[in-house]
Amino acid sequence: MFKKISELIEGKLAGPLEKLSNQRHLRAIRDGIIATLPLIIVSSLLMVVAFSYNQLPQDWALTQFLKEHAVAILLPYRMSMYIMTLYAVFGIGYSLARSYNLDGLSGAILAELTFLLTIVPVSIPDVTEAISALAEKNEELNTFLQALPSGYVIPAENLGSAGMFIGILSAFLGVEIYRFTQTKGFKITMPAAVPPAVARSFETLTPIAIIMLGLSAITMWMGINVHTLIGIVIKPLVNATDTLPSTLLIVFLIMFFWSFGIHGDSIVSSLARPLWLILLDQNTAAVAAGQQPTHIGVEPFLQWFVHIGGSGATLGLAILFCVFAKSKYGKTLGRTTIVPSVFNINEPMIFGAPIVLNPMLLIPFIVTPLLCTTIAWIATSMHLVNCASTIAPWTLPGPIGAYLACGADWRAAVLNVLLILLSMLIYYPFFKMYDNELLKEEMDNTKEQ
């Protein structure tokens, strides 16, 4: 039965799923967003530092310093993660253009232009004569008016997670217009003697004109707020992502694909990551405003409470092989996989045990993450652990990563350790059967020799 299912998956689904994973637009989204992760990680750590005074003794000088300078410490965050869509769009445009063998930098700039043209600058009202007259009599009001900027400002909220889907669509539109003008010859071609950089700049004149006039007519002259329209469309999708059933489905699909050697994270996470980032950014914004984050179903939740040691929560299995294995192969496997597993690298375990297409280990490989998801979700929803609000480097050991991701919450580290112990309990009977089987094979081979 299992063999037939394996053959069906490998024969019918492996090819289409691999093509889906490598589809140029999905790959561009993955490349663009992943390129922003270092930026998000560093700015998230600043968030942890800025609000660490809540966990420190209040009579420390360091505590008072952090409390007084929290706003200044968070300024880099406001210029990085707070406007992360701006960076992601550049990366998506670059990747998509390169996939078409177009100039990556030109594609990135066109994607950025398209996105920015969906945001309408807001004019700051001029100070009236009546207000100026009042300010002459009120020093505090006069100081406030002097600090006000003049001219136009850009609504920053649309540059963050709220504008992510518009950013993705804008990057696609900008690059596709660029590709259309290139492939149809609808461009200004310079003589061969002209330097390549100059020639490329003239080739983008036509797509820039199309994008600038077309988008400006829709958003700025006709007054259509595309961000509001898309926000209404995707709101149910974002809300649905932040539920236990949807998170369990995501985890199951990742495990299901991995069971047959298909990189489940690459397929499922590429589709879910834009939604996760929206929820994570809302959590981060809540923390920055001094409020409690409320969204549970974010990517760091899966990283530190579900995929502990890698997909399938295999750190527990690596510990079992390292400590309790009787077979020579099991002992060797444990010693070679324990260190990578501590740092959440589990391909040596998945393909070395192997777990892939191994009925004896596939059951706990799928069940363990589902149970970890349920327990961690319940603990978080009961406020026993803070919601994850930052992205910690994924190669950190589990307790440390959980502690940082949940805003320096020591309870998150404890929960991570408890879930590792739980994974060991679930894996143990299956590990024991498999190790005994390996030991029997080794003994039989020794007798034959």
Lowest mean pLDDT among 184-188, 207-211, 359-363: 184-188
Any domain includes 14: no
Any domain includes 176: yes
Tell me what the mean pLDDT of segment 190-215 comes to.
80
pLDDT value at residue 194: 66
Any domain includes 17: no
pLDDT band at 447 (very low <50, low <70, confident <90, very high): low
Structural domain of 134: 129-153
pLDDT value at residue 315: 93
C-alpha 402/C-alpha 396 separation (Å) is 9
Residues 305 and 171 in one domain: no
Last residue of a domain, one of 169, 202, 236: 236
C-alpha 35/C-alpha 53 separation (Å) is 31
pLDDT band at 12 (very low <50, low <70, confident <90, very high): low
Residues 251 and 215 in one domain: no
Last residue of a domain, one of 191, 217, 236: 236
pLDDT value at residue 21: 63
pLDDT value at residue 371: 96
Share of the chain above pLDDT 90, in %: 31
Any domain includes 192: yes
Residues 218 and 251 in one domain: no
Count the domains in the chain: 3
Q: Which residue has the higher pLDDT, 331 or 44?
A: 331
Q: Write the pLDDT tens digit of every residue in 367-383.
A: 999 999 999 999 999 99
Residues 199 and 263 in one domain: no
User: In terms of residues, how long is the chain?
Assistant: 449
Reply yes or no on whether the pLDDT at 8 is more than 60. no
Residues 256 and 329 in one domain: yes
Q: Which residue has the higher pLDDT, 237 or 331?
A: 331
Any domain includes 343: yes
pLDDT value at residue 185: 81
Any domain includes 92: yes
The answer to whether 92 and 167 are in contact (CB under 8 A) is yes
Lowest mean pLDDT among 125-139, 171-185, 209-223, 239-253: 125-139
Q: Write the pLDDT tens digit of every residue in 307-318.
A: 999 888 999 999
Residues 147 and 172 in one domain: no
Q: Give which of 316, 416, 341, 428 is closest to 376, Cα–Cα.
A: 416
Tell me what the mean pLDDT of segment 9-14 comes to.
56
Residues 349 and 429 in one domain: yes
Q: Would residue 80 be called left, alpha or beta, if left means φ above 0 and alpha means ψ between -120 and 50 degrees?
A: alpha
Residues 227 and 253 in one domain: no
Residues 294 and 439 in one domain: yes
Last residue of a domain, one of 202, 236, 270: 236
pLDDT band at 80 (very low <50, low <70, confident <90, very high): confident
Q: Write the pLDDT tens digit of every residue in 274-305.
A: 888 888 888 888 887 778 888 998 989 999 99
Q: Which residues contact 374 (CB under 8 A, 6 or more apart)?
A: 244, 248
Tell me what the mean pLDDT of segment 204-218 comes to.
91
pTM, two decimal places: 0.73
Paired tokens of 16: 């289409």
Residues 123 and 231 in one domain: yes
pLDDT value at residue 170: 94
Residues 207 and 304 in one domain: no
Residues 295 and 211 in one domain: no
